[in-house]
Amino acid sequence: MGRATAAHLAGEGYLVYAASRTPHKLEGLHVHIIPLRIDITDPASIQKALSEIEQVDVLINNAGYGLVATVEEVTEEEMLSQFDVNVFGVMRMCKAVIPKMRVQGSGVIINISSFLGKIGLPLLTSYNASKYAVEGITDSLRYELRDFGIRVHSVMPGFFDTSFARENLVTNEMTFAERSPYAQMVSALAPVIVAQINSGNDASEVAEMIHAIIEDDNAPARQTAGDKARKFIPMRRELSDEDFERRVRAYYGLEQY
């Protein structure tokens, strides 16, 4: 999604600073894309990269990964790492950019969240929690920054055909072991989730949505992208917690677990 968005905005004439731990992969992508080496878990790395950029009009917080683990089996290191990237990374980037925007009196911050920031799924508890947190950050920042002319939005994608399932899923060893008490659930659910991700929507949909948010001063606080998000988020709003849970359990065949 980040790559598609960078390319799309560059094609529309934006000067894009594309932050990555592997900026060489972005070299030559577009004349208007300037790769930046940033590790969002390292405040010094963020400050160094941004120190040479005088003006920032738009910040898109897109970096993240998914941890697949049960709460019983997840390690302390895995929990902390999930939040360090998905939550604290967002806050670090906002913290670094907000002063520039505040002085300018304008700016747009777009947090790439997930439809799983509004609904839970088993095995993805840490990821769910991190995206719920991103939604909370977005809500609070909208109050904090409104008087400075800074807009804050979130995009909640469903499943998209990106490198997320192939490269950005981290699995807990115990959860995927045959001796795990959750082995039956894992064997039934994990392949379904991965298949849905790999057959999901095209990332260009998110890129176009982000562009529209940037251009529209009256864009809504949050928007959904992709088939799964458009299916589940309205359902979540309409049903009681218990009825929604029953629908999800039936959809993913979880009644027996």
- Per-residue pLDDT, averaged over 38-49, amounts to 96
| Residue of 127, 132, 143, 252 marked catalytic | 127
Residue 151 CB contacts under 8 Å (≥ 6 apart), including other chains: 107, 108, 109, 142, 145, 217, 219
**Domain boundaries of the chain, sorted by first residue:** 2-226
d(C-alpha 212, C-alpha 130), whole Å: 26
Per-residue pLDDT at 86: 97
Per-residue pLDDT at 165: 53
Per-residue pLDDT at 174: 95
- Per-residue pLDDT, averaged over 216-228, amounts to 94
Per-residue pLDDT at 99: 97
pLDDT at 257 over 80: no
Mean pLDDT of the chain: 92
Known active-site residue 127: yes
Say which DSSP state 86 is in: I
Under a CB-based contact definition with an 8 Å cutoff, are residues 6 and 16 in contact? yes
The sign of the dihedral angle between the CA atoms of 75, 80, 83, 85 is negative
- Over the stretch 14-35, which tens digit does the pLDDT of each residue have? 999 999 988 888 788 888 999 9
Per-residue pLDDT at 24: 83
Nearest Cα neighbor of 176 from 194, 201, 203, 196 is 194
Under a CB-based contact definition with an 8 Å cutoff, are residues 214 and 110 in contact? yes
Superfamily of domain 2-226: NAD(P)-binding Rossmann-like Domain (3.40.50.720)
Please report, as a single letter, which amino acid is at residue 42. Answer: D
Per-residue pLDDT at 223: 95
Under a CB-based contact definition with an 8 Å cutoff, are residues 165 and 207 in contact? no
- Per-residue pLDDT, averaged over 161-175, amounts to 76
pLDDT at 146 over 80: yes
Give 197-248 as a DSSP string: HHTSB-THHHHHHHHHHHH-TT--SEEEESHHHHHHHHHHHHS-HHHHHHHH
- Over the stretch 46-73, which tens digit does the pLDDT of each residue have? 999 999 899 999 999 999 999 999 999 9
- Per-residue pLDDT, averaged over 196-209, amounts to 86
Kindly provide the residue ranges of all beta strands, DSSP E only, lying in the chain, ordered along the sequence.
16-20, 33-37, 58-61, 66-68, 107-112, 150-157, 169-171, 222-225
Can you give the pTM of this predicted structure?
A: 0.92
